[in-house]
Structures are given as C-alpha cells and as structure tokens.
Amino acid sequence: MEKYVYFFGNSKADGHGTMKDVLGGKGAGLAEMTNAGLPVPPGFTIATSACRAYFENDNRLPQAVTSQADEALERLEALLEQKLGDSQNPLLVSVRSGAKFSMPGMMDTILNLGMNDEVVEIFARKTGNPRFAYDSYRRFIQMFGNVVLDISKDQFEHILDRQKKKRRFTLDTQLSADDFKQVISGYKQVIRKVTGKDFPQDPRVQLQMAIEAVFRSWNNPRAITYRRMNKIPDDLGTAVNVQTMVFGNMGETSGTGVGFTRDPATGEKQFYGEFLMNAQGEDVVAGIRTPVPITELHEIMPEVYTQLREITSRLEHHYKDVQDFEFTIQEGKLYMLQTRTGKRTGKAAVKIAVDLVEEGIITAEEALMRVEPEQLNQLLHPILDESKPLKVIAKGLPASPGAAVGRVVFTAEDAVEKGKSDPVILVRAETVPDDIHGMEVAAGILTSRGGMTSHAAVVTRGMGKCCVAGCGSAEVDARRKVLRIGSIVIKEGDWLSLDGSTGRVILGKAETSLPDPGSGDFATFMKWADEVRQLGVRANADIPRDALVARRFGAEGIGLCRTEHMFFASDRLPHVQRMIMACKDTTDAKEAARYAKERRAALAKLLPMQRKDFYGLFKAMDGLSVTIRTLDPPLHEFLPKREELMVQIATLEAKGKKSPKLGQLKKMLAVVEGLHEFNPMLGLRGCRLGIMYPEITEMQARAIFEAAADCKKRGIEAKPEVMIPLVGEVKELALQKEIVDRVAQEVFKKKGVEVEYLVGTMIELPAAALSAEEIAQEAEFFSFGTNDLTQTTFGLSRDDCGKIINSYVKQKIWPADPFAVLDPKRVGRLVKLGTSEGRKSRANLKVGICGEHGGDPASIAVCAEAGLNYVSCSPYRVPIARLAAAQAALQRAKERSAEEAYTTA
Amino acid sequence: MEKYVYFFGNSKADGHGTMKDVLGGKGAGLAEMTNAGLPVPPGFTIATSACRAYFENDNRLPQAVTSQADEALERLEALLEQKLGDSQNPLLVSVRSGAKFSMPGMMDTILNLGMNDEVVEIFARKTGNPRFAYDSYRRFIQMFGNVVLDISKDQFEHILDRQKKKRRFTLDTQLSADDFKQVISGYKQVIRKVTGKDFPQDPRVQLQMAIEAVFRSWNNPRAITYRRMNKIPDDLGTAVNVQTMVFGNMGETSGTGVGFTRDPATGEKQFYGEFLMNAQGEDVVAGIRTPVPITELHEIMPEVYTQLREITSRLEHHYKDVQDFEFTIQEGKLYMLQTRTGKRTGKAAVKIAVDLVEEGIITAEEALMRVEPEQLNQLLHPILDESKPLKVIAKGLPASPGAAVGRVVFTAEDAVEKGKSDPVILVRAETVPDDIHGMEVAAGILTSRGGMTSHAAVVTRGMGKCCVAGCGSAEVDARRKVLRIGSIVIKEGDWLSLDGSTGRVILGKAETSLPDPGSGDFATFMKWADEVRQLGVRANADIPRDALVARRFGAEGIGLCRTEHMFFASDRLPHVQRMIMACKDTTDAKEAARYAKERRAALAKLLPMQRKDFYGLFKAMDGLSVTIRTLDPPLHEFLPKREELMVQIATLEAKGKKSPKLGQLKKMLAVVEGLHEFNPMLGLRGCRLGIMYPEITEMQARAIFEAAADCKKRGIEAKPEVMIPLVGEVKELALQKEIVDRVAQEVFKKKGVEVEYLVGTMIELPAAALSAEEIAQEAEFFSFGTNDLTQTTFGLSRDDCGKIINSYVKQKIWPADPFAVLDPKRVGRLVKLGTSEGRKSRANLKVGICGEHGGDPASIAVCAEAGLNYVSCSPYRVPIARLAAAQAALQRAKERSAEEAYTTA
C-alpha cells in the first residue's frame, strides 16, 4: 500500500530532509531535526500524495489515508503516554499546512487541537493556570471556526470586544478565566448559528476536519492565483503536519527560552541566550518578566542545561553553522521547538566564518558562502554608537550606508564654506549635478525627495558617503535655510546625525565609530574570496580620492570614470557653456566652420584641466587599467533650466522693466530651447555628441593621451581604456575610434613616447547588444551600462518611475526593482547575448559591467554566468563585489559538477 | 595562360552579363549589351584578376596583362579602322574603373584618351569644329593630370580662370579655340613643374598610365574606408574598361538623342524621344538648341531610324521592360551609348506592367515586381496640375503625399470655423494632439518644425492628408496670424497650395486633379498582388470615416485603433481631466478609495461616448477584426503644459494682481507637477496606467463589449481584439487580461449575447520581445509596435532626434531613418525573435505589426521574413502594403527555390 503518513519522534523519522516533494518544506524540516537527534515534539506528516488522493476521491479522505493517520496517532499517543481527549493525560496537537513551496493563501496554523469542554478543565488543573487554559481553548475555537468552518474572524472578534466592553476593559490581558468562559460560550453560539451544527467536542472529529481543511485550502483562489503567477504546478498538493503541543508553563519544572550557539553581535564563541521558568515563549520576548541569562539554567536544572548545550553543539556541527534555537521544558523534559541559522551582524558573520574554518567544521569555500556580501557594508562604513540614546526624528530611504554627524547646511556653497571648520550635513529637496562640489565636502546628505537611484543616492554611494534620501516628512526650505520635521525646526548650523544604513534621521550630535576593515579576520576572509573568484572587480571613480579608496578596498582598476562630472566645476562650466553656445546647426559651410572654431577655442581651455584630472587618476591607479568614458550627458544639463528661464523672463516682462538681464536671459533661453528635448534620455547624448561635434572627443582623447604620456615620462604606468558611450551601431564606434587613434598617434609623436591603450564601448542599448558581433570588430572591450540598458529594455525612466516600480514590486509583478537587481530574463539575456556574440568576432574581448548593478550580489551572479571578465562598482562596494564574485564562482562550480554527475550517470 | 582581357564589339563579347566578379559591374553590362546585338562602341575590359596581379607584382602591370591588352587594342583598331595616335584616323578611347560594387573614392572617368598635339588638329579638321577639338584636348589633359598624375584640380582651374580673366569672360563657353590652345600650354607647364616630366604625347603610354592609375585607386584611403564600412573584401580588385569614344558632332551625318520605348508619363505604347543632328549629348539636354521629336529622324535618316526602332524594340524584349536609351550617330553609324530601365510615373508603371503581361512579355508575377509600391501613392492622392505655372516659394519635407489648396489659417479653431466655407491650409510651427479637430477639417497642413515622423507627419499620413513639415524657411507667427517666407508675407485667408509628395509650398491657388484608383489597370494589378501575397493587410484607423477609406482600399481589418485620440474631443476632455485630477497616490486606504470613486465617476461619463465610437468602428468593419488598444499616452498630455502654467502664474504674480484664476492655475500646476516626467516616453503610460488605475481599463473594456453586443443584436458582426500596450512582463498582461475577461463576462450576461473576442498585447519594448515565450502564455495575439520598439532599441526619441537621424543618414552610419524603414539588424531581429518564441508557447499565435513601418515596403519584407500574419498601416497606404506584401512573397519564393536548387545540387 502507498505510504501516506510519515511519523517523526524519539530521534527517528520515517522521512528525511530532502523529501520536500513528499513531505513539504515544513515536514521535511521536522524529519531532518528529528533524525539529527533533536528532541522535537513528536508527530506525523500526511504526505502531499494524500492531498492529491483527496481531490481524486471527490474531496473525501481515502480510507488508506485515514487508517494510516489513525495508526500514527496511536503511535504518538503511546510514545507520549497521552491520548487525544483523555481525561487524565490529554494530548494536544497543532495542525499546519506545508507545501513544497511556501504559498500565501494556504491554511493558517491551528493550535491546541484536542481541547474540549472536559480537557480544558484538566488542563487548567495541570497548569494551575485556569486563565491560560480557557484562553487557549477560546483561541482554538476561534482558529478552528475561522479556518476549518470558514466563519469570518470579525464574528469572533465581535464577541471578544463585547465582553471587554461589558467589563470596561481595553486590553485582552485584563480578561479573567471566567470572562473567557463567557467568550467561549458566545463562540459556540456563533458556530451553531452559522453552520447549523455544534462545535465538535470529539478531538478525533476535530483532527479529521482540520486535515481536510488544509487540503481544501490548496485550492482557494488566492493560492491558485499565486501559483499561476509563480508557475507552481497545480497538481503538487500540500502536506499536513500534526505535531504534539508542548507547554513551558506547566509549573516550576517547566520553562522556555531562546539562544544562539555563538554571540550574534560579535561572533565570539560563547553560548548565548535567555530563558524563563514556568512561562510561555511569548513571555520571554514580551518584556513583562525579565528573562534570565541562559548560564543560570545550569544552576536550576543542570541535567537539562547539559542536554541543551550538548544538543545545540551537535546542531552547530550538524548544520555547520551558528544556530538560533527555541526550546521548551515541559515538566522537566526538554523539547527543541525550532533551530535555524542564526542571524548575525556583518562583523560576527566574518568572525564566525573564519573561526568555523579554523575549528575544522567547514572549508574556506563553505565559509565564503556564509557571509551575505551586503553584510560587509557594516565593516566598511562608520556606524552609530547604539549604546547611547538616539533621538530619531524621521526616517527616509537608506540610500547610502554609513553614519554621518555634522552641522546642517542648505546649499552646496554653504557646504564648501562651513565645511572648512566643522563637518556638515547637506540638506536638499533633491540634489542636482551642480551640487557636486558641496556633496564632496559634506559628511552626509539628506534629501526630502528622490528614491534609491536618485542623483543623491547614486552619487553618494559612489563616494561611499552616507545618504538618507526621499525623507518625505522633511520639509526643506532652502531659501529660509530651515528644515522642518513635524514640529521640530532645524536651522543652519544645528547638529544633525544620519544613519544611511537604516534611513534614520537623528537630532543632535550622535557618536560614531569606524570598524577596522584591516582586521585579521576580514583580511583572511577577503583573501579566500580573491583566491576563489574568477570575475575581476573594478571601481567606478571619477577623481583620484575615490580611486585611492577603491584601490585600498581591493579594486583592480577603474571600470568607469565619468568625465562629465569634471565639467561641472565652477572654473570649467563657463568654458563648457561657451562650447555649447557654438553647438549650432547650419547648412552654410562657412558658418559651420566658424562654429566649429569657436567650439575648439572653448575646448582648448578645458584641455589642460582635463589632462590634470586624468593625470591624477592614472597616478592613483599606477599599473592598473583606467576606463575613461567620453562625454555622455545631454548638453542642456550644463545650462540653466528651461522653465526657470521662462519664468524669469515672464516675471521681468510682466513688471515692464527694461533690463540688460532680460536680453541675456532671452539669448540663453533661445540656446536652451534649441537643445530642449522631450526625452533627453533618448536624445543627443553619448557618442552622438562626439559624432555631431567631433572636437569634443578629440579634446578628451588629447587630454587622456597627453596625461598618459606625461605619466610614462615620470615612471608612472598609465593604462588608459577609452570608452565610447551609447553606441548602437558599429559605424558610430568606428568613427569615434578613428578620432581617438589619430589623436593618440599625434600625441605620441609629439611627446616622443608611446602608451598602450584600448578603445572600447559601452553596451547600454538593446541595439548594441543585438549587434555586438559587428561592434566587437571595432571594440577592444565592452562594458555593459546596465542602468541605461535596463531603462531602454524596459522602456522605464529611472528618474520617473519610482512609483511604478514600488507598485510593481508590491504587486509582485517584478521580484525586485530592476535598477537595484539586474533582471536576468531580459536585461541579463542581452548581457549574455552581447558577450557571446561579441566574442564571436573577437575571442579575447574583455567584457565588464559598470552600471549600479556591478555592486549587487545577485546581479554579479548573472555577470559571472554570462562569462564577464569583471564588474565595476562604487569604491565602497568593492569588497562586497569581491565576495559576491567568489560566491558566484563557487555556485557555478557546484552547478557544473552537478551537471557532470548527471551526464556521467 | 590566364585570361586577363575581355574584348567586346561587333555584337559579340568575350564575357557576359553575369560575370560581375571578373569584369566588374560596368564591364559586365557592356558585355551584356554587346551580346544583345546592340551597336555599343567597342572596347575591352581588363579583369579584376589583373588588378590583383598588379598588386602582387609590386604595383607593376604583369607582362601577361600588357600583352593581352595590346592584342585587344589591335583588335579594336582593326575593327574600327582607326589607330591610337594615327594621323589619318586617330582612335580615341575612354578609360573607366569598374569594381564589382560601385564605390566612392575610386578613379573617375578619363575621356578622349589618345589626344595629343597632332591628333587634336586632325580632330579639329574632321569635326570642322576646332573649338570643340581643343576643348576636348584640354579636358583630357586636365583629367589625366588630376587622376593619373595626382595634380590637384585647383591648379588646372586656376589656369582656366586666368585665361577667362585675361579675356574678361565669365563663362567657359565664351572661350575660343585659340583660348584653349593657351590653356593647354599652361596645363602642360603645370604638369612639367609638378612631375618633372612632360605630358606624355604617346597614346600607348597614356593608356598604360591610365590603366595603372585605375588599379592604384583601388587602394586610396576613401575607397578603403568605404570598403571597411560596407564590409567589401579588400582583395576583390577593380576592372578597367577601355572603350572607343564616339562623337555626334562630326558633321551633318552625325547626331545624338535620347528616348523611351514607351511613354514614361502615361505608359502608352509609343516610341518616345528627341534628337539633334551634328550635336553632342549635352546639347540635347542643355536647352540651347531645341531637340526634334524622334519620329522626324525617320525623314532624315530612314535607315538609322529603322535600325534604332528595331534595336530598342529588341532591347525591350531582351530586358523585358521599358528602356530609356541614349544613342549617337557618328558619320552615319548608329551607336547605343546606354540603355536602362526607364523611370516612369506610378500611373505609367501600372499600365506598362499590365500591358507587358497582356503582350506576353512578362508574367503577372514579374509585373508585380515592376512597380515600386511607393509609386502607387500617385494613384491614390490628388496631384498638382504641373502644366500650369506654379510659384514655388519654399520647400519643406514631403511628410504626407498629395496636393492641397486652401486658405491659410493659423489655429485649429480657425480651421474649423473658416473651413466651413472654403478649404483651408492649417499652418503651425508644429502640431500637437490638441490640434486634431483642426487637422481633420483642413485640406493640408504646413509646419515649420518637426521631421518626417513629427506629430503632423504621422497624423496626416494616417488621414491620407497632404502635409509639408519642417519647412525651415517658414516663420509662423500664430499670434499675429502671419506666415513669413523670406520677404513674402501671407496672411490669414490668403490662398496657398502644398505638394506633400515633393514638399513644395506654392503661393496662390494651384489646380489639382484626382487620378482614378478604380481604373481597370489598377484593379487588375491589385488583384494579382492579392493572389500572391501571404501577409494580411490591415489599417490603423481610429474613426469610422478612416475605417471606411481603409476598407475601400482593401484593408482586411483594423490593426490599431488608438483610443486616446477619442479623449481629446472637447466634449470629453473635461471628464478626462477630472479623472486625471483623481489619479493621486496615497497610503491612506480610505482616501485611496475616495480617489478611485472619483475616477470611476468621471470614467462613467466617458463610457457612453467610447461605446458609440466603438459601435461606429465595428459597423464600418462589419465582419472584420478591429484591434483596439487601451489607453496609452502619459496622462499629462491631456493637461495644460507645465511651463505654460508656470509662465502664466509668474506673470500674474509679478503683476501683483489677486485673481481667482491664479488659484486655479496653481492647483492645476500642482497636478501637472505631480505627473511631470523627465522622459515621458519611458514613464507612466501604456499598461502601467491600467495597472495603477484599473478603472480605466475596465471602462474601456466595458465600452468595447457593450458596443460589440449591441452590434450583434442589430446583425452587425463585431470582432473585437483588445490590445494591451507597453507590456514588458507577462504578469502585467495577466492582470489586465483578468479585468478585460471579467468585464466581458459581466457585459455578455447583462446583454444576453456573447461575442467572440481576443486579448493580446503590443510588443513594443525589447523586454517584451525578449520574454515573448512567457507573454504568449497569456496573449492571444501580438502586434509589434515598431515605433516604440525602435525608440527603445536604439535609445532614440523620435520627437527629438531629427537632426541626429539626418546627420547619421548623411554620414552613412545608418542606411535610412530607422523610423521610416525598419532596422532589420536589431529591431527586425527582435521582431523575429519575439514571433518565433511567442509561437513556442502558442503555435497559432496571430502576429502583426502596427507601427509606421507597416506601410513601408522594405519593412514589410522584413515582416514577411519574420513570418508575421499581417501588417497594419495608414488607410492610404493599404494598396502600397498589399503590393509590397506580394513582392515580399515573390522574393521569398525565389530565395527558397534558389536554396532548394542549391540543396539539390
């Protein structure tokens, strides 16, 4: 006969941990723990096959299932010397659903099944706590009524409320045992009224009805929709877990507690936890009674303590990791209710991983899989001293991690000025490229608008600087230099603290500390990661300071230097604007030549400044590659805003004043109008600029090669990689490359030295990925710009779509924000396609990624799978990327060996 | 020995027309014409293999080549009884390059080779025209000096200019034979000065040097770049064509002329052309002497005339098409200089194609390949009467074909008003959706800004209405109601005429005529097309009038009805705006419910109007499918413009006036700000609207199904296909489809009838094409929206990128505007991928295209190759699409049979 029911108890289970198909996730876990020798409350699992059989049998339990369940129940009763509904030793059980995949909409837990009018009294007597007994009974009736009999929760809540009102109570905790007796009577009436039948007093009937209810819940509409959306087959079915209830409040030989096998904050190897005697689990965490350190259990119940230490130590070895466990002692007998991998801080995670290797429990490779790359963040940024009280006054988005403390300023200029004496926090409604110089000197940034990929967020992450963005409750009045949060008014110069890791905004001057990333464990751990990973890790850095940070964090080069950031500095912007004023179209050849000459003149002023920028970068990265992207953003970003000009002009005109300023404004507006675009993201930018105005590329190439040549003369090894952005067609790249190569030869000839360099391209348009084979005929490297590639693939502007993304993630249309986590199905597919087709033309094509995704672990795994050579990310994310790259390599090795095993078999 | 030289002459050639690899394109053509029995001036072709041999032999002509060329020359001299450099009968030849692919940068033609100080005198005597002889000689020296000796043209032009100055002439034609003698002497000095050698007087030396120059030109930088850009292998080499010169000005038994085998304007079968005796080709076209109708040649030289008629008739049969030929009679002997397929009007093209079938010369399938689909345009739109004088005052882009005549108006309102009495031409800087009602009544549209895919262009093409767009020289002052073109001022009410097929703007009231598309030939021709084509042809139409036009032109359904156009009407816009005012976000559930209720209330007002719209469409298309797209554009398109509001507010504020209007404007601005997007193309639009605000989809679905049900009750067969736009992920479609299906069931239940319908999606994002397999699990049809797909694939906003596109096409970065011709490499690849992967999930998936490309012949060929079921285009392009679809089917059949032949062989 087919086996439908799997018993577990007394350190032995019929099933085991890998049988999720048969036992569901929860049932497999219970079997695993039991087999691991844990004293888990015994019980049995009714297999998913029984669910299928139930449906095939017209929604009735087949005889074979019922009889096997009865047998298992008898075995359970024998083991515990308790019986369902027994008047001496009544058995109480929980009933839970448990499918292969966890699924919303499935049946909730039913606790305390087996309670009835008789059992509740025995229970009251045994616990010496009638209130608890009657509360447990009424909870059981309510859960049973709602889940099994399909009566709405409201109807039960109504009765409870009525009782509280009658007694003028406001809290459930004020109700006595007698109150609950009245509530129970009310509940029973509801059930009779709605179902036409009495609440079943026979625990066997209760159990059968609960099992059937679990099976039925497989087909409730929410579960069906969820399966359809997530492609879970409809014919899997769910299992049912029936497990003995245990109670820690059955007198002074009972108790309950929680613990960790090691300290989850520091990672130190010491038994850690707390407990309460004669208490339930909720009492430990509720804070009414103060729990006792677990070491004291040694005094109270030495045998139980020894058993617990022995079990948890075994657990740590069995699961090869720190365990977070819950236990209950019922009348002197220890039960393990739960054990799971313990959550820990980043610092602890690294220490534990390294220690476990040293203890011989895991290998270095296993250790690498034990630390979430994101956790390393905590080891890289200053953190708030949480031991001191913090006055949190608002919460925004944790846009860029770390803590910052400083005096509030409201403009970039003030940041520069005031930042000379004290650290400053720059507070803006939102930041714009103009604010860069202020952001550079600020300790942290707070904005009231914008999301996780707003300008402030992206730039600060790049700088490794703390940022709290989109803090909706902050009203920023930059004109009056006042920040209002609720009734609190913060003026310029007031102290403010930010926690960019949680988004907290704290009034006053909090204390911070900087963890030491050079500590032994961290260094050991990162060395293992570097040995394992195959992906290179570079950093996105525009200035020498960032480049040096990146190098210290282990970056192996610069994957993206955005030259436009260099254009915004106040000594440069006038030249940039002069150049833009000459970016005019004309069909007249002479006029065109005049404009080009004017552009060249303006660019000539920028040349020495850019050369200096690049020299600094090459010097900082001596011996490592530096990828420099030619000018990318639309030109109007360097000019005043169109609508602001229009308003200024309208205001002056309405006032009827003639002023020379009006003429200037109108002239500027005419230029801005000429450059105005409805969709600048899809407009005149990237290599299109260099193709329309080749002088720009020429000047930048000249600055790069002159700087590189100067380096070489001074013994610095510059390795420039010139990157052309927004290419969609090989001919675009060919034309730009021609300029770069020509300028390089001119410079080398003039300077009398040659420098090795590469010319490559961003792949950031679907068009580029789709014609990668052609493009690689010209490109010596590819760098996937996955920010723009995501924007164009999805037709989704990241500046505009915050609301849409939030809504889509909430509605589960997308698993995550595609700008935070690389979409593997579409964008990732283009990355793979572009890489493999590019290498058809050029087998040794170097391929990297330089979007924000380059620092995201899940995205790094996609990059590894696509066979990329490197990822490039913010300097402060370099260690995270190194670890993620190592994990991706390990994961892939595992998959490959699984495939090989499959092929061999 | 390898054959390097191929002779042609006397009706027989060594080579033939298919030997382009060996003889180059030009050489193969000469061989073909000679073999066809044409009296072409004889000569020989030096094969491409000789070019390769030349390079292998260190840039020297191998002995074998020289000796074979000498032999051919002797054969030529014998045939003509002329000799190079002969003092009685000197032979003159032309030397031309001729590679397999024509290539810019290759050597230009050298004419009159064989001239020297002696020959020129003989020539002067023989022609009786010393001026002509010396002019010919100086031209030869100049060409030889420039092309063979690499001396810049300037140096020769300088001498010619000097001579003119000396004689105070302004024109070359004023120079006499003696003047040319002085020029020749100057030319020779230049050659001596630059090369250190005299101009070679020996014609054999001239010839050898010219041949080597042709070979050298294969490797000039421009040719190399061109080959690299166009992937032409570098090792093909070029051929050299050496051909006898003939002259029609050798006295009264010489002459020259041009002609057509049939009338190229009407297609009538009548010999057509003109000639001049004792003249050169340029004289016929220069207009100094008036050419004589070709029939008169019969009087003058009856034998030559008969020979010409016989030859051209044979040519028409040989090439199976109307020929456009050039001939020269040299001393009584007829030479054919050129014959090629004759260009013709659309009307002629159809008539000729049908006639040739009836004459048994070609098959119907061949006939279908003989008409450029675009030519049908001329048969579908009114055309200007060109026989009357036209005062062309400006030229813009030929945005939408046809002619229009009307009185000028400057606003949509005026168009509606004034259009009641007279036809009107609507003149705008650029049109916006608000102008639709004016555009509908106008006879034609003129804009000063915007390109071929601007709003005006797209909308008018949809309406089949004449439009001249982007007329840069037109200054539109809408406020003063004045149009200025140069010094011409046109006021409201003045008459203006437009030619949308050429972009001409004509002052005054021109006359037009409407060709009859129902004529016998046209109908016959289109019937053949329909029999052959496999692609269905639908039309994009939003209103019944357009739908009826489309149906008359042969549309088999509506492939795209844009419902948003229905939202702009003045009786609807207030409800639309009210709905938008309630599109607010809130986390408060009660508030959210209130907003949703408000939206529903506004949508309820729109429901009966939309229902009426759809009823009209279903009725017009009775029995045919009607694809209706749910609301697509960003909501702010229905509101006033942000910057205009800002300016109005600033103006009112600056004036210090308190007015209730200010408050209203501010309230509106707040709403507009809330909806403001940096890149609306990538923002909250398409199905994202329906997902954020499901009420919109619900209302539209209800209008569709209520209209369809009402149709059914009245015996009209409605076949709705509901199309969800901008889907990138199957779950988006699933959520919207759920709404559509639910509403359909509700309506059918209420109305008591059921209507068959489909729910499908636009594929207009790379993300959609890349997850087509998943999307097809929900979608019952796909329609590729290639406008947006091109925008996102290329990252190119079609509203902004006119300049970039023009520049790219001019620089040959792109072969064509990707919004006009579907890019096959990238966008086309996504179309193919999406189609094939979609059909993996749903084998019978119906797939169409509804972008502007649906009416473009080259794009239709890509659609046919991708296996689409139908294309959808503007009503007026339906016949064009039908023909293009037929041609694509024939082309594919041909390719397939070629493949089969290859496989069999």
Residue type, A811: Q
Q: Quote the minimal CA–CA distance from A790 to chain B in Å.
A: 9
The continuous run of DSSP H or E covering A124 comes out as helix A119-127
A-chain CB neighbours of B395 within 8 Å are: none
CA of residue A587 relative to chain centroid, distance: 53
Nearest in space to A684 (alpha carbons), one of B472, B764, B807: B807
Q: Which helix (H) or strand (E) holds B731?
A: helix B730-751
- Total Cβ atoms within 10 A of residue B623: 10
Tokens for B781? Answer: 């049809």
**Model pLDDT for residues B509-553, shown as the tens digit of each residue:** 999 876 666 668 999 999 999 999 999 999 999 999 889 989 989
| A733, closest residue in chain B (CA to CA) | B813
Give the phi and the psi of residue B565 in degrees, each rounded to 5: -60, -30
- Which residues pair with residue A335 across a beta bridge? A328
Q: Give contacts of A 642-671 with B, CB under 8 A.
A: 642-643, 646-648, 650-655
Round to whole Å and give the CA distance between B106 and A142: 92
pLDDT at site A904: 64
Beta strand A90-91 with A83-84 is parallel
Cα–Cα distance for residue pair A775/B591, rounded to 1 Å:
53
Cα gap B199→A619, rounded to integer Å? 60
A466 CA: distance to closest CA in chain B (Å) = 26
Other beta carbons within 10 Å of A137: 24
Alpha-carbon gap, residue B863 to B885, rounded angstroms: 9
Identify the pLDDT of residue A245: 93
Cα A453 to Cα A442: distance, rounded to the nearest angstrom: 19
Query: Which residue is it, tokens 């000009």?
Result: A645
What confidence score (pLDDT) does residue A366 get?
A: 94
**B482 in Cβ contact with B490 (< 8 Å):** yes
What was the pLDDT predicted at B230? 73
Which H or E run contains B462? helix B455-463
* Number of Cβ atoms within 10 Å of the Cβ of B128: 13
Best A775, A792, A841 residue to mutate vs chain B (most B CBs within 10 Å): A792
Distance CA B214, CA B103 (A): 13
User: Can you tell me which residue has the tokens 């409809």?
Assistant: A234
Whole-number pLDDT of residue B811: 87
Of A679, A735, A803, the CB nearest to B800: A679
Using the beta-carbon criterion (under 8 Å), do A765 and B793 form an inter-chain contact?
Answer: yes
> Tokens at residue B151, please?
């001396």
Residue that the structure tokens 């001074």 belong to: A714
Instruction: Give percent of chain A above pLDDT 70.
Output: 97
Interface probe with A: pick from B792, B805, B829, B832, most Cβ of A within 10 Å: B792
Phi, psi of B817 (to 5 degrees): -60, 115
Per-block average pLDDT, block size 10, for chain B (905 residues)? 92 91 90 90 96 93 94 94 91 91 75 94 88 91 92 90 89 86 95 94 95 91 76 87 90 87 86 85 64 89 94 90 91 88 85 95 95 85 84 89 92 90 92 85 89 77 82 88 92 94 92 71 94 96 91 94 86 93 80 91 96 96 98 93 93 85 91 90 95 96 98 97 97 96 96 97 98 96 97 92 86 91 96 98 96 92 96 93 97 86 66
Which residues of chain A, if any, have pLDDT below 50? none
8 A C-beta contact, residue A223 and residue A105 = yes
> What pLDDT, on the 0 to 100 scale, is given for residue A379?
82
Q: Token pair for residue A363?
A: 């290998």
Q: For residue A98, how many other CB atoms are within 10 A of its CB?
A: 24
Which residue in the set B643, B799, B830 is minimally distant from A679, CB to CB? B799
Question: What pLDDT is attached to residue B826?
Answer: 97
Q: Which residues of B touch A688 (CB under 8 A)?
A: 804
Provide, as residue numbers in chain A, all residues whose Cβ is less than 8 Å from the Cβ of B433: none
Whether the CB of A793 is below 8 Å from some CB of chain B: the reply is yes
Q: Is B349 helix (H, G, I), strand (E, B) or coil?
A: helix
Q: Tell the residue number behind the tokens 């846009």, with chain if given.
A: A399
Nearest to B684 among A681, A804, A813 (CB): A804
- Whether the full predicted model's pTM is greater than 0.90, yes or no, is no
How many residues does the structure list for chain B?
905
Which tokens in the block code for residue A623?
A: 């011996």
| CA R_g for chain A | 34
Q: Hey, CA dihedral for A726, A730, A732, A735, is it positive or negative?
A: positive
User: What are the residues whose beta carbons fall under 8 Å from the beta carbon of A268, sequence distance 6 or more?
Assistant: A262, A351
DSSP element (H, E) containing B484: strand B482-485
pLDDT digits (tens, 9 = 90+) for A531-564: 999 999 999 999 998 899 899 899 999 999 999 8
Q: B841: which chain A residues are within 8 Å (Cβ-Cβ)?
A: none
Interior CA angle at A743 toward A738 and A746, to 5°?
130
Residue A518 pLDDT: 65
Residue B846 makes CB contacts below 8 A (sequence gap 6+) with B758, B760, B780, B781, B782, B869, B870
CA distance B645 to chain A (A): 10
Nearest CA to A15 out of A37, A1, A35 is that of A35
Return the residue of B nearest to A675 by Cα.
B800
Residues in chain A within 8 Å Cβ distance of B766: 766, 792-793, 826, 830
Angle among Cα B270, B273, B279 to the nearest 5 degrees reads 160
Q: What is the pLDDT of residues A626-684, one digit of tens each?
A: 999 999 999 999 999 999 999 999 999 988 877 888 999 999 998 898 889 999 999 99
Chain CA centroid to CA A22, Å: 32
Distance CA A739, CA A747 (A): 12
Query: How far is B771 from B734, CA to CA, in rounded Å?
Result: 14
The b/e string for A690-719 (b: 16+ C-beta within 10 A; e otherwise) is bbbbbbbbbbbbbbbbbbbbbbbeeebebb
Q: Cα torsion at B277, B280, B285, B288 (round to 10°)? A: -70
CA angle A450, A456, A458 (to 5 degrees): 105
Do residues B444 and B465 touch, judged by C-beta distance below 8 A?
yes
Task: Fill in the DSSP letter of residue A190.
Answer: H
Q: Which of B679, B734, B766 is the closest to A680 by Cβ?
A: B679
* B residues 509-568 closer than 8 Å to A (CB): none
- Residue in A12, A27, A417, A528 with CA at minimum distance from that of residue A239: A27
pLDDT in the model for residue B101: 82
Inter-chain residue contact A792 with B766, CB threshold 8 Å: yes
Centre a 10 Å sphere on the Cβ of residue B426 and count the other Cβ atoms it contains.
32
Q: Is A728 on the interface with B (CB under 8 A)?
A: yes
Rounded to whole angstroms, the Cα distance separating A537 from A290 reads: 49
Residue A735 forms contact with B (CB below 8 Å): yes
- Interchain CB distance below 8 Å, B801 and A650: no
